[in-house]
Amino acid sequence: MKIEIFEIFKNMFYVLDSEYDNAPNYELGEILSGMNPFLFSEKGSAVQYFYKDFSRLFQENFGDVQSIEIDIAYDFCLLYLEALASNVALVYFKKISKQEWVRILSN
């Protein structure tokens, strides 16, 4: 099953936001405020840098493709969070396994 780029971004946000709710962290809260994909009606993030950088990295890795397999999307989220240079966001995201990510997004 494939997932489109903006859906990947939103689901990465959901994972981080859910983990933040379980264990709040100031740095992650700041990142989530900027990443928020629901603030505007168009595709993007509250601070445009986040989604633009996510899209740029996606294009660098997958070219003009607009969707990828769900399991590859998990790996891409890890790559993006590593590039973001936020160990906190990466640690929080890794609290969900690839198997759980696939299971949730496949439903």
Convert the pLDDT of each residue in 29-77 to its tens digit: 999 999 999 999 999 999 999 999 999 999 999 999 999 999 999 999 9
Residue 85 has pLDDT above 90, yes or no: no
Long-range CB pairs of 44-53 (<8 Å, 24+ gap) are: 45/9, 51/6, 51/9, 53/80, 53/83, 53/84
pLDDT in tens, 12-31: 999 999 999 999 999 999 99
Half-sphere CA count of 47, side-chain side, radius 13 A: 9
Could you count the other beta carbons within 10 Å of the beta carbon of residue 14?
A: 14
Query: How far apart are the C-alpha atoms of 89 and 17, rounded to whole Å?
Result: 10
Global confidence as pTM: 0.95
The ranges assigned to domains in the chain are 2-106
Both tokens of 58, joined, read 């996606």
Alpha-helix residue ranges (DSSP H) falling in the chain: 5-22, 26-35, 48-62, 70-84, 87-93, 98-106
Give the model's pLDDT for residue 64.
95
DSSP letter at 9 equals H
